[in-house]
Amino acid sequence: MRKAGKDDVKERLLSLSKNLEAKFIATRRALHQIPEPSFEEHKTQAKICSLLKQVRIPHERIAGTTGVVGIVEGSGRKTIALRADMDALSMDEQTDLPFKSRNKGYMHACGHDAHMTMVWGAGWLLKQLGKDLPGRIKLIFQPAEESPPGGALELIRRGVLEKPVVHAIIGTHVSASIPSGKVGFNRGAISAAADDFKITIKGKGGHGSSPHSGIDAIVVAAYFMTHVQTIVSRRVSALESVVVSIGKIAGGYRDNIIADTVHLEGTVRTRSERMRRKVRRMLSQILDATCASFGAKAKLDYICGYPAVVCDDALTQLSEQACRDLLGKANVKQTTEFEMGGEDFAYYARKVPGTVLFVGIMNRRKGKVFELHHPRFDIDESALRVGVTALAYSAYRWLESSS
């Protein structure tokens, strides 16, 4: 029997995805109704297992986590993984969708319901290739992308990239800046290293009528916050991608008491490891110098979050070309946009070659215009079939080139 060529496979995948589009939409809607917080995706895990069982994909729950891994066997030895995140955001949904969140206080406002659907759907399509699949597909459904330390590191520790060994990995993310029907790729670093910090400034309390007798922690904090702005404006090149933001401040008792303690919380976003280390040192330096000038003391807790996601050039180029062949050149964007958000896909991409497929979900005519993390966020569901097929064909082409 003649082995199917890439054009045959492309047409089969396109035909299959078209026939199964209603199922993809129903699946995404079912997942959308059961959003759960990071590390607590129990109903979602059960739903994923049920979906994999329906399409006869062998799978198992990852012990000690809410993660799931499925395996699609082909005829080759190499393995490529497709990764989807599972958790939701802690916010109330403000849409009027008939399938809106049933879990008050939680919403799939970052598209993870779509990501899970696309990876499951891609696995289903690839399974139907049988021996024409020149390798193995590992489907990784990962908990807790939204909450550092995240779920990726824990899954890696528990061997998700082993047995069988994963040789490459593709993640997916919906994009509200790309029109539905199109996909996008980015080269090199595509997201920031995302770190957090907590600061406690200790002064000396006193009566508001005699500020000279105390050390006003509020004044110290105000000077510190002003000086911190010079990190980006005066101490870092304008060509660097750096953000330092303080999002929370708490301190004081009442109008006539000098505050002895102030608590601050903030975030640092950087593109390179070199700048990540440098900004951390500058933050500490400014804090120490400011407190010393007032006679105050401070404690800095710096919490290293996700590193930057750096896409592998070869895998990105291969996937980009596969999607051009599949969808047409006009429907594949090569974007240079760099996001200052964090993403723990970075940990996989540090272990094996990785890239991220961005799936456009914006449709102004249908009113699908809200950005990620917005309480009225929704997707143009026609994008699901595009994402499913693009993931499946990209994975197939990588296996074909590696066999």
Alpha-carbon torsion, ordered 146, 149, 150, 155, to 10 deg: 180
C-alpha to C-alpha distances, 401 to 94, 106, 196, 254, 372, nearest whole angstrom: 45, 42, 41, 69, 35
Residues 6+ apart with CB under 8 A from 187: 311, 313, 316, 334, 336
Question: Which pLDDT does position 6 carry in this prediction?
Answer: 80
Mean pLDDT of 80-102: 98
Residue 134 predicted with pLDDT over 70 = yes
Residue 326 predicted with pLDDT over 90 = yes
pTM: 0.90
Residue 2 predicted with pLDDT over 70 = no
Own/partner pairs, 206-213, CB within 8 angstroms, 24+ separation = 206/257, 206/258, 207/256, 207/257, 207/258, 208/255, 208/256, 208/257, 208/258, 209/256, 211/258, 213/258
C-alpha to C-alpha distances, 247 to 236, 266, 369, nearest whole angstrom: 21, 5, 27
Residue 1 predicted with pLDDT over 60 = no
| Ramachandran sector of residue 179 (left: φ over 0; alpha: ψ -120 to 50; beta: rest) | beta
Residue 307 predicted with pLDDT over 70 = yes
What letter would DSSP give residue 180? T
* Active-site position among 36, 343, 381, 400: 381
Q: How is residue 336 written in tokens?
A: 């240079």
Question: Which pLDDT does position 338 carry in this prediction?
Answer: 65
How many whole angstroms separate alpha carbon 189 and alpha carbon 191?
Answer: 6
Are 308 and 186 in contact, with CB atoms under 8 Å apart?
no
R_g of the chain, CA atoms, integer Å: 24
The β-bridge partners of 357 are: 172
pLDDT tens for residues 176-229?
A: 999 999 999 998 888 889 999 999 999 999 999 999 999 999 999 999 999 999
Is 253 noted as a catalytic residue in this protein?
no
Mean pLDDT of 101-115: 98
Is 306 noted as a catalytic residue in this protein?
yes
Domains of the chain: 6-190+307-402 (3.40.630.10), 193-303 (3.30.70.360)
Length of the chain (residues): 403
How many Cβ atoms are within 10 Å of 166's Cβ, its own excluded?
A: 23
Name the pLDDT band for 336 (thresholds 50, 70, 90).
Answer: low
* Active-site position among 145, 154, 306, 339: 306
User: Whose structure tokens read 């710096």?
Assistant: 302
The span from the first CA to the last CA of the chain, in angstroms, equals 19
